[in-house]
């Protein structure tokens, strides 16, 4: 990068020079817990409103729409659990983990501590054989197969595979001997399960619990996670540090469906993991201004619509080579092979 003063960092062990100094990074990394609290509250409020609306309408189309909306907010909770894994919810680490577990991870049967151990390996071994998320970046051979996989995901046919993948950071693993979780994590997990079961039984809402909470995870979440996994690193596995992950520019509809809490700025996150999600747009502008070659300066524009979208980048028209792929050093075709 050309701007000065700068500072050196790495992405997956590959050197990268940031176009700003430690003072700017410290400012970007400053936590604002009220912003995190608002993010968390928003997801739960939208879920509650979707359930109330579906129950009031009382028709299956409204129920299915509510399930889809809830799945997108559950995905947002996963993104915020990722923030908790990086200790970006609160300055106090104990508070960070308690909030992350009780309000984000446990409701989705996951554990912040176990996800942290998994995710930090992803950062240390980005795009190499030690990366535990490497399989998530695998690209189907054709655009048709990609879309067919999304339909299979939404039908529930790939749910078991998704659950097996998530098992490496599931909350039940807290009770194994090699778990990275603490005794407090285990106590909170037991208490959480007991309280949820008691509340569901007391109010007699087993049907609603399955319909509005478990079904969105099983039916819609796999498709959301597949798109996100491929968008983050698919086709970038052997790229240099400045394009090792993807940065996407999205509209409000795609942000709601696929990219909550600025998770679309994934290359920026890998560049500066200490920066919370609400500061990623500013970080992106600084990185783009400092290096015209980097992913922040050359964002993919959306997921499925337009000539510069993710799906067009991965599956260009016959005889077409994307200009960006041809110009990037280290690029080896649309599939990064």
Compute the half-sphere exposure of residue 29: CA atoms within 13 Å on the CB side of its CA: 14
Q: pTM for the complete prediction?
A: 0.90
Spatial CA neighbour of 296 closest among 244, 235, 332: 244
Q: Give Dmax (Cα) for the chain.
A: 63
Q: What is the pLDDT of residue 328?
A: 38
Residue that wins the pLDDT comparison between 319 and 53 = 53
Residue 224 pLDDT greater than 90, yes or no: yes
pLDDT at 6: 75
The proportion of the chain whose per-residue pLDDT surpasses 90, expressed as a percent, equals 73
Q: Please report, rounded to a whole number, the percentage of residues in the chain having pLDDT higher than 70.
A: 91
- Residue 272 phi, psi dihedral angles, 5° rounding: -140, 80
Neighbouring C-alpha atoms within 13 Å toward the C-beta of 6: 16
Cite the DSSP H helix spans in the chain: 22-28, 33-57, 60-85, 93-100, 112-124, 143-155, 159-166, 183-203, 206-209, 215-219, 221-233, 252-257, 266-271, 280-290, 310-314, 323-327
pLDDT of amino acid 165: 64
- Which is nearest to 17 in space by CA: 298, 272, 307? 272
Decide if pLDDT at 1 tops 80: no
Would the pLDDT of 300 be above 50? yes
Phi and psi dihedrals of 6, rounded to 5? -135, 180
- pLDDT confidence bin for 5, thresholds 50/70/90: low
The average confidence (pLDDT) of the chain is 89
Question: Which is nearest to 336 in space by CA: 266, 209, 243, 206?
Answer: 243
| 69-70-75-78 Cα dihedral, nearest 10 degrees | 160
State the Cα–Cα distance between residues 83 and 283, nearest whole angstrom: 16
**What is the pLDDT at residue 139?**
92
C-alpha neighbours within 13 Å on the C-beta side of residue 37 = 6
Task: Give mean pLDDT, residues 198-204.
Answer: 97
Question: Shortest CA distance to 277 belongs to which of 52, 21, 76, 55?
Answer: 76
Q: Give the per-residue pLDDT at 319.
A: 55
């Amino acid at each position: 990068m050309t701007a000065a003063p700068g500072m050196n960092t790495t992405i997956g062990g590959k050197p990268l020079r940031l176009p700003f100094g430690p003072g700017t990074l410290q400012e970007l990394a400053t936590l604002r817990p009220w912003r995190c609290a608002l993010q968390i509250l928003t997801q739960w409020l939208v879920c509650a409103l979707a359930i109330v609306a579906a129950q009031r309408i009382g028709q299956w189309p409204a129920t299915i729409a509510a399930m889809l909306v809830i799945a997108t907010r559950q995905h947002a909770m996963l993104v915020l659990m990722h923030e908790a894994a990086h200790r970006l919810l609160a300055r106090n680490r104990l508070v960070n983990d308690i909030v992350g577990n009780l309000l984000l991870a446990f409701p989705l049967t996951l554990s912040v501590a176990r996800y942290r151990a998994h995710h930090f390996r992803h950062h240390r071994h980005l795009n190499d054989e030690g990366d535990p998320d490497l399989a998530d970046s695998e690209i189907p051979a054709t655009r048709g197969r990609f879309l067919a996989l999304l339909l299979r995901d939404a039908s529930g046919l790939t749910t078991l595979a998704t659950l097996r993948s998530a098992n490496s950071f599931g909350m039940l693993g807290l009770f194994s001997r090699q778990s990275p979780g603490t005794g407090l994590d285990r106590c909170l997990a037991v208490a959480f399960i007991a309280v949820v079961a008691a509340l569901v039984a007391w109010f007699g809402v087993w049907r609603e619990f399955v319909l509005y909470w478990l079904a969105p995870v099983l039916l819609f979440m796999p498709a959301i996670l597949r798109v996100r996994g491929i968008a983050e690193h698919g086709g970038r596995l052997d790229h240099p540090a400045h394009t090792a992950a993807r940065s996407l520019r999205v509209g409000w509809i795609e942000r709601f469906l696929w990219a909550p809490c600025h998770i679309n700025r994934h290359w920026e996150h890998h560049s500066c993991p200490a920066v919370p999600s609400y500061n990623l747009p500013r970080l992106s502008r600084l990185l783009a201004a400092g290096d015209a070659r980097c992913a922040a300066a050359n964002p993919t524009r959306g997921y499925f619509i337009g000539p510069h979208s993710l799906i067009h980048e991965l599956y260009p028209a016959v005889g077409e080579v994307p200009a960006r792929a041809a110009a990037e050093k280290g690029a080896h075709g649309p599939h990064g092979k």
